[in-house]
Amino acid sequence: MDEFELIKKITPSSLSHREVEIGIGDDAAVYESKAGYEEIVCVDTMVDGVHFLSSHSSPGDIGYKALAVNISDIAAMGGYPKFYLVSLAIPSGWNESAIETMYEEMNKLAKLYKMDLIGGDTVSTNGPLVITVTVIGEIEKGKVCLRSHAQPGDVVFVTGELGSSSAGLALLLEKISTKDEGLAQYLIERHKRPKPQIEAGLICSHYERVALNDISDGLANELNEIAVASRVSIDIYQNMIPKHAELHKLHTEWEKFVLFGGEDFELVGTISSQDWERFAQECADHQVSVTQIGQVSQESDIKVFLLSGQNRVPLEKKGYQHFK
């Protein structure tokens, strides 16, 4: 394919934000910044064979997820996404039509949030497909939700349900099976096309102090990051963690999907107990599913504990880590 012809094809015909002065077509994008707001910038790289399997995912699925996981990072800060840039290292086996489909699916997702594609890069490679997405968002000054905001007495909560994405991957890899085609399709869709929790993140930003993380590497991993950043201890009740009603039928160790599987891209966080009821009601008013799963304790230990019946055991970081 011709690099410059491809760039012409993926260049948006119009932009949603007037502050963009220079988009695709120069050495860098340029846009004005609003007074009273802070910019949020995040970047993620996905590699074929590590973060996705092109043999099990369509080009559209890959493009969608590459953008979705970055939008999720903006949600975890309490912000709203506005711009994105895409860098591709394209193997020779990929044709122009497949690449265009990737961008089309990214564009469909971006339109939901009125995001503009403002740049990127395309190169060829002898290795696997590599896609890097940068997303730029904004939030009102002083409203950002940080991992370090948790305090003793806070309510711990999650959005949505956990474990479905990991179960979907296990189905794709034929590590588990089910005769329920509807369930299989649902779980696989949860893995391939996660929904970023932007609405939930925006609601969180309305409150004075909320700690947030998106669940990319597993609930245990994300909770431990909050505990370390805030220097607190966290108690989680296993029977309170939301999950699909049929999940336990798929595998005897289904709890691992919930606690360590990751890639649900829901939000986990803490909020003052005084704000919890109002927060939960505001979420319900906006059709955002939110569940209390524990609390931040008064202990001096910087640990996460899982409570099941009479047992209280440390919940270690066992989510996916690249260099272990």
Residue stretches of the annotated binding site for Mg(2+): 27, 44, 73, 121, 214, 217
Q: Residue 134: which of 190, 99, 82 has the closest Cα?
A: 82
Distance of CA 306 to CAs 182, 206, 293, 300, Å?
32, 29, 10, 17
Q: Residue 165: which of 257, 246, 253 has the closest Cα?
A: 257
Q: Residue 202: which of 288, 132, 273 has the closest Cα?
A: 288
What is the rounded CA–CA span in Å between residue 6 and residue 112? 24
141, two tokens: 């000054």
DSSP code string of 85-150: EEEEEEETT--HHHHHHHHHHHHHHHHHTT-EEEEEEEEEESS--EEEEEEEEEEETT----GGG-
What is the rounded CA–CA span in Å between residue 79 and residue 137? 6
In the three-class reduction of DSSP (H, G, I as helix; E, B as strand; rest coil), residue 238 is classed as helix
**Annotated binding-site positions for substrate:** 51, 263, 320
**Annotated binding-site positions:** 27, 44, 51, 73, 103, 120-121, 147, 214, 216-217, 263, 320
What is the rounded CA–CA span in Å between residue 230 and residue 73? 19
Beta bridge partners of 35: none
What is the rounded CA–CA span in Å between residue 138 and residue 77? 9
Contacts of 117 (CB under 8 A, 6+ apart): 10, 11, 12, 23, 24, 83, 84, 85, 86, 103, 106, 107, 110
Q: Which DSSP symbol is given to 207?
A: S
In the three-class reduction of DSSP (H, G, I as helix; E, B as strand; rest coil), residue 192 is classed as helix
**Annotated binding-site positions for ATP:** 103, 120-121, 147, 216
